[in-house]
Chain A
Amino acid sequence: MKLDAVHYLQAVYRKMVDSASRPGHISDLRKEAGLAGTITGCSPSLLVMALTLLDQEVTFSVISNQADKVSKLINQLTYAKQTETAYADYIFILGDASRGALAEAIEKAKPGTLKNPHGSGTIIAEVDSVISGDPLFLTGPGIEETETVFMNVRDSWVEARRDKNREFPLGVDLMFIDQHHQLLYLPRTTQITESQVVA
């Protein structure tokens, strides 16, 4: 791995901050992912995100056909501990996970408590694309009026997310990373509608 842990992970973090503070803003992680090299099991962009956020202080779970292998890799590289999805601080859903895995993970993930909403889980999911597919209309903090993103929505996660985030500040934050290493961040404050009502 040619990745410089200091400077490139700082770049990844700043892109996460950009995408989190402006939901719908797509950040490009191609450069950092390219430096991470080829990894078997998960995409290099997912791995650089794990390297940016994880260490021995947090827990994670992986949902994939190769969950054991990828968990071992993440544990070895970050020292973070693997746990069940319901207790995990970070939940990785890989591209090969079964249909409905994302909705299920959203349902299971810890939403935090009213006193400590920051104790919630964060889901990082690999998807086909965050720039093509069905339109999703976003509103909420960080968005001036409306943002439109295009995603191949494979399962009913939008509804599951809406249910989970019903009682703000409880909820889960979602990050999507696509095959072209493009990052979309949907914090719990973002409202998603699948069709826009024309007034």
Chain B
Amino acid sequence: MNTAYNFAFFDEGSKREIRRATLKAIAIPGYQVPFASREMPIGRGWGTGGLQLTLSLIGRNDVLKVIDQGSDESVNAVNIKKLVCDTTGVETTEHTEEATLIQSRHRIPEVPLRKGQILVLQVPLPEPLRYYEPSESQTKKLHAEKEYSGAWLMLFEQIMKYGSMTTGADHPVLVNGRYVMAPSPIPRYDNPKMQQNDALILLGAGREKKVYAVPPYTKVVSLDFDDYHFQPESFEGKHCRLCGSTGVFLDELVDEAANKTVYQCNDTSYCLEKLNEVEKVGVN
């Protein structure tokens, strides 16, 4: 542990400011609370919002897991984990169940979150209305008036142009029947996991200087229409080439040598756990 820095990198004043904003965010689910967003030793837009939330929350007894697009070992995840560990000395894990604090970029883990865990999501664009309204003061007004026809119109236009909603990731959700919220660029597959989740979900956007939250057991509904329902990605008939799992979010890979498409679990730690389970059975 590097003792040249204060515990968890930040000075106490910075932590307090983020903490005050976070408590407000929990009290107003889906509302983007502005915060000061400190300069971090990683570039803005590389997870500084999530990192600041993690650093303001973390204590000596926490067990940290950091994932980036489902992987524990990608550059972004490893660097964030290193920075947090270096300044706090906390234990890290790859097992979702063991973690008390999970920072994630663009995925909600496959293993269901449990009570007492906190999931921190990194958010590049926290404003779901930004696609059609560039002015911050106008989007604040639209949120204040619960004027979300533009959000539905955006989806409507996609249906008119392409025959279905083409959001891919970051499909907007309605939180607690009040605020339309960007769930961060998680795949549509993960949107239903936010609904009535057992864990607290905090979302941080460092560059855009916003934090927001989805408390446990909160109603989170993906925007859709009566005749065009929200549809998560379907992996019907497909399975992971390594562990054989079905019913999980799969990455599509092209094996160029064999010229065929293969699928693999996106959540690497889940895949590894499944593989280890299989091996244990084999040994016995």
Closest chain B residue to A144, Cβ basis: B217
Segment of A12-20, A127-135, A150-158 in the binding face: A12-20
B60 touching A188 by the CB < 8 A rule?
A: no
Closest chain A residue to B26, Cβ basis: A20
Complex CA distance for A53 and B17, rounded to whole angstroms: 8
Is B23's beta carbon under 8 Å from chain A? yes
Q: Would you give the 0/1 interface string for A67-102, flagging 1 where the beta carbon is closer than 8 Å to chain B? A: 000000000000000000000000000000000000
Complex CA distance for A12 and B24, rounded to whole angstroms: 16
Q: A17-B200, A188-B27 are in contact. Are A55 and B21 (CB under 8 A)?
A: no
Contact for B33 among A5, A114, A118, CB less than 8 A: A118
Q: Would you give the 0/1 interface string for A96-117, flagging 1 where the beta carbon is closer than 8 Å to chain B? A: 0000000000000000011111
Q: A142-B215, A169-B178 are in contact. Are A57 and B17 (CB under 8 A)?
A: yes
Contact for B27 among A18, A53, A143, A189, CB less than 8 A: A189
Closest chain A residue to B176, Cβ basis: A141
- How many Å from the CB of B172 to the closest CB on chain A? 18
Complex CA distance for A141 and B33, rounded to whole angstroms: 18
A118 touching B12 by the CB < 8 A rule?
A: no
Specify which chain A residues have a CB less than 8 angstroms from the CB of B183 in the assembled complex.
none
Q: A55-B13, A115-B140, A115-B141 are in contact. Are A173 and B22 (CB under 8 A)?
A: no
Specify which chain A residues have a CB less than 8 angstroms from the CB of B22 in the assembled complex.
17
Closest chain A residue to B56, Cβ basis: A13
**Chain B contact residues (Cβ within 8 angstroms of A): what range?**
35 or more
Q: Would you give the 0/1 interface string for A117-139, flagging 1 where the beta carbon is closer than 8 Å to chain B? A: 11010100000000000000000
Is A2's beta carbon under 8 Å from chain B? no
Is A10's beta carbon under 8 Å from chain B? yes
Specify which chain A residues have a CB less than 8 angstroms from the CB of B144 in the assembled complex.
113-115
Specify which chain A residues have a CB less than 8 angstroms from the CB of B176 in the assembled complex.
141, 189
Most buried by A among B26, B34, B56, B57: B26
- Number of chain A residues close to chain B: CB under 8 A: 38
Specify which chain B residues have a CB less than 8 angstroms from the CB of A117 in the assembled complex.
28, 31
Complex CA distance for A73 and B145, rounded to whole angstroms: 41
B28 touching A7 by the CB < 8 A rule?
A: no
Is B79's beta carbon under 8 Å from chain A? no
Is A6's beta carbon under 8 Å from chain B? yes
Complex CA distance for A188 and B31, rounded to whole angstroms: 13
A169 touching B19 by the CB < 8 A rule?
A: no
Specify which chain B residues have a CB less than 8 angstroms from the CB of A11 in the assembled complex.
59
A143 touching B217 by the CB < 8 A rule?
A: yes
**Chain A binding surface, main DSSP class:** loop
Specify which chain A residues have a CB less than 8 angstroms from the CB of B109 in the assembled complex.
none
Is A193's beta carbon under 8 Å from chain B? no
- Interface hits, B15-60 → A, CB 8 Å: 15-17, 19-29, 31, 33-34, 56-60
Complex CA distance for A9 and B13, rounded to whole angstroms: 12
Specify which chain B residues have a CB less than 8 angstroms from the CB of A164 in the assembled complex.
none
B12 touching A6 by the CB < 8 A rule?
A: yes
Is B270's beta carbon under 8 Å from chain A? no
Is B6's beta carbon under 8 Å from chain A? yes
Complex CA distance for A192 and B266, rounded to whole angstroms: 42
Complex CA distance for A105 and B23, rounded to whole angstroms: 20
B31 touching A142 by the CB < 8 A rule?
A: no
A21 touching B216 by the CB < 8 A rule?
A: yes
B12 touching A53 by the CB < 8 A rule?
A: no
Q: Would you give the 0/1 interface string for B132-171, flagging 1 where the beta carbon is closer than 8 Å to chain A? A: 0000000011011100000000000000000000000000
Q: Which 8 A-B pairs have the closest CB atoms?
A: A187-B27, A114-B144, A141-B218, A142-B215, A118-B24, A21-B200, A21-B215, A115-B144
| Further contacts, 14 of them, CB under 8 A, given A17-B57, A118-B24, A173-B23 | A13-B57, A17-B22, A17-B118, A20-B215, A22-B216, A53-B19, A53-B23, A58-B20, A115-B140, A118-B25, A118-B34, A141-B219, A142-B216, A144-B217
By a beta-carbon cutoff of 8 Å, the part of chain A in contact with chain B is 5-7, 9-11, 13-14, 16-18, 20-22, 52-55, 57-58, 113-118, 120, 122, 141-144, 168-169, 173, 187-189
- 13 of the cross-chain contacts (CB-CB < 8 Å) are A5-B12, A16-B23, A17-B22, A20-B26, A54-B16, A55-B16, A55-B17, A142-B218, A187-B28, A189-B28, A189-B29, A189-B176, A189-B215
